Amino acid sequence: MNYKVPLKDMSFVANEVLDMPGHYQTFTRGKAVDQDTLEAIYSEAAKFCENELEPLNKIGDEVGCKFDGGVVTTPPGFKEAYTSFVENGWPSLCGPAEYGGQDMPESVGLVFMEMMIAANHSWSMYPGLSLGAVKTIKTHASKELKDRFMPPMIAGNWTGTMCLTEPHCGSDLGLLKTYAEETDEDGVYKITGSKIFISSGEHDFADNIVHIVLARLPDAPVGIKGISLFLVPKFNVNDDGSVGDRNAVACGSIEEKMGIHGNSTCVMNFDGAKGYLISEPHKGMRAMFTFINESRLGVAMHGQAHSEVSFQKSLAYARDRLQFRAHPRKLEDKPADPIIVHPDVRRMLLTQKALSEGGRMLNMFCGKQVDITLSPDFSDDEKEVAESMLAVLTPIAKGFLSETSLETTNYGIQVLGGHGFIKEWGMEQEVRDARISQLYEGTTGIQGLDLLGRKILKSRGKVMKPLMSQVQAFIKENRRNKYAKQLKGYVGTWESLTRSIGFSAMRNLDEVNGAAVDYLMFAGYVTLAYFWAEAAVASEAAIKNGGAQEEGFYKAKLATAEFYYQRIMPRVLAHEAAIKNGVDSMMELDEAQFAYL
């Protein structure tokens, strides 16, 4: 079964849940996006993903990238698909007009990104990393660097990467050793060091690759506060913008990975490479978070997209596979019934559907907030609200949707049974490709600590207020709706649980670390419960207003909302209990007692 872009559901979320048409009328970049334009963009994007990217997904997995003497060759068809991507103007979709972009809102590009990830996760990472690099340069670099590097990157002729991790440090970037030496040229440095796990670090797609690199200046203080951010091109760039000689940066090897074989994951060696400072000295991590937050939203879409694909493939199989007899019989003239009639199979399918479609609502809502933060048309107060929303929802989306994607893709194997375990059916690839999303841009534990410790407790809960205010306003407006009534109780528990952890942390700071993942998962389930309540209200209104032509679609939404509240939401009780039981049981065992071998 081949992936099909769920345009109907994307339209429902945009138009009936989030009122994106109304949103687009509130700022300049959005006003160019009328309904016909948006539908045309998504229709053409769907064709590109279904016809050009999806057929390469299995090839990318089986063939993978090849490394030979510093040169990386991508799987057959990958380069040609990228050429088509560039020729049709897709890289410039949301780029600023002053640098050759089409100036579409960021939320438009995020929906297209979901399509690309679902069609071919490995391939999508090449342009995906470039988007983050462009945004980082635009936000932090000098005008001279923007003028030199952004036009070819926005056109797609050059690509970009993020270079953080080193062999001795992963998420603890305060330990990094890559260093920068000053030159006689103002703002120009020599960068030396090695980076690992660099996605898209070397490939055969583009004329140049622009690396965004963390390194230390000679006078840097120790730790995270001593890091600066640099732009280091694969090829040096002449004053006229043309590609010059090769810079002293090279790919030392590519990793053999569990999944995403079609994307080159590189060891990158910088040997006195020419680089440009693009942050204030020693303020690199602050600047790099522009890239990291962009990437975290991208990884949230990785998780959600794999949930969508696993659902589509599972559903197609469950409709065709005949096993056992149902009561009452579905196909009396056959020796068995399709497995979709069996309750346990429906449990798995509905879990996939609820988490995929709920995740889409969350991701598209985040895209709406990104639009607000980047537009000069919104007031400082409106931007502050959107930034607070994203501060809370970004770690939830990244952590929760990546965790649930492992559940949904594993259900895909379970629905297919033995066929799911066999490569030719493609389901086991979904599990392998999805697994990286729980590690990218900080593990689930890092996301939980970011949400609970760095965001919520550090602000004494202030950062939660915009989201809570919106949810509570929805509950009040829909007080007679059964899902809104249930949601009220869950939100109250979320708030009281937050206070409880805060009090516990005053006695023992380890309580925050011990509670972080359970807290993030609790928050994720409640957040999706809010969006499913919104979807239910929108669906009830559509049926009431005579949406007879699509009544089946809206009834399916209501049935899925009911399943989510009845069968998924009880999970929060376990997370609540685990948090309240505290950290003591985790810390009692002495390190030497973990195993006796």
When computed from its CA atoms, the radius of gyration of the chain, rounded to whole angstroms, is: 24
pLDDT bucket at 547, cuts 50 / 70 / 90: low
Spatial separation of the C-alpha atoms in residues 153 and 134, rounded to whole Å: 7
Residue 566 has pLDDT above 70, yes or no: yes
Active site includes 441? yes
DSSP per-residue string spanning 248-317 = SEEEEEE---SS-TTS-EEEEEEEEEEEEE-S-TT-HHHHHHHHHHHHHHHHHHHHHHHHHHHHHHHHHH
Residue 559 has pLDDT above 60, yes or no: yes
Q: Give the N- to C-terminal CA distance of the chain in Å, as an integer.
A: 47
Pairing of strands 208-215, 249-254: unpaired
Q: Write down the pLDDT at residue 170.
A: 59
Distance of CA 126 to the CA centre of its chain: 14
Residue 440 has pLDDT above 80, yes or no: yes
| Local structure of residue 322 (DSSP, 8 states) | B
Spatial separation of the C-alpha atoms in residues 13 and 20, rounded to whole Å: 9
Distance of CA 559 to the CA centre of its chain: 27
Residue 436 has pLDDT above 90, yes or no: yes
Question: What domains are defined for the chain?
Answer: 288-456 (1.20.140.10), 461-585 (no CATH)
The residue from 166, 441, 511, 576 that is catalytic is 441
Residue 522 has pLDDT above 80, yes or no: yes
Contact 96, 166 (CB under 8 A): no
Mean pLDDT of 168-186: 79
DSSP per-residue string spanning 417-481 = GGGGGSGGGSHHHHHHHHHGGGTTTS-HHHHHHIIIIIIIITTTTGGGHHHHHHHHHHHHHTTTS
pLDDT bucket at 91, cuts 50 / 70 / 90: very high
Closest C-alpha to 254, from 73, 103, 133, 84: 73
Q: What is the number of residues in the chain? A: 597
Q: Write down the pLDDT at residue 592.
A: 84
- Residue holding tokens 């940066």? 249
Q: Write down the pLDDT at residue 66.
A: 97
Work out the burial of residue 237: count CB atoms within 10 Å of its CB; fewer than 13 is exposed, 13-18 middle, 19 or more buried.
Answer: buried
pLDDT bucket at 322, cuts 50 / 70 / 90: confident
Residue 331 has pLDDT above 80, yes or no: no
pLDDT bucket at 172, cuts 50 / 70 / 90: low
pTM for the model: 0.96
Mean pLDDT of 214-218: 93
- Both tokens of 179, joined, read 């260093």
Contact 219, 225 (CB under 8 A): no
Residue 171 has pLDDT above 70, yes or no: no
Residue 173 has pLDDT above 60, yes or no: no
Lowest mean pLDDT, pick from 281-295, 443-457, 509-523? 281-295
SS3 of 538-550: HHHHHHHCCCHHH
- Sign (positive or negative) of CA dihedral 67, 71, 73, 74: positive
> Residue 26: helix, strand or coil by DSSP?
coil
Q: Write down the pLDDT at residue 334.
A: 74
pLDDT bucket at 117, cuts 50 / 70 / 90: very high
> Residue 217: helix, strand or coil by DSSP?
coil
Contact 114, 305 (CB under 8 A): yes
Residue 327 has pLDDT above 80, yes or no: no
**How much of the chain is helix, strand and coil, in % rounded to 5?**
65, 10, 25
Q: Write down the pLDDT at residue 452.
A: 97
Contact 57, 119 (CB under 8 A): yes
**H or E stretch at 349:** helix 343-374
Work out the burial of residue 306: count CB atoms within 10 Å of its CB; fewer than 13 is exposed, 13-18 middle, 19 or more buried.
Answer: buried
Average model confidence (pLDDT) for the chain?
Answer: 94
Contact 49, 118 (CB under 8 A): yes
Lowest mean pLDDT, pick from 137-151, 292-306, 583-597? 583-597
Amino acid at 493: T
pLDDT bucket at 174, cuts 50 / 70 / 90: low
Spatial separation of the C-alpha atoms in residues 82 and 90, rounded to whole Å: 10
Residue 76 has pLDDT above 60, yes or no: yes
pLDDT bucket at 367, cuts 50 / 70 / 90: very high
Residue 326 has pLDDT above 80, yes or no: no
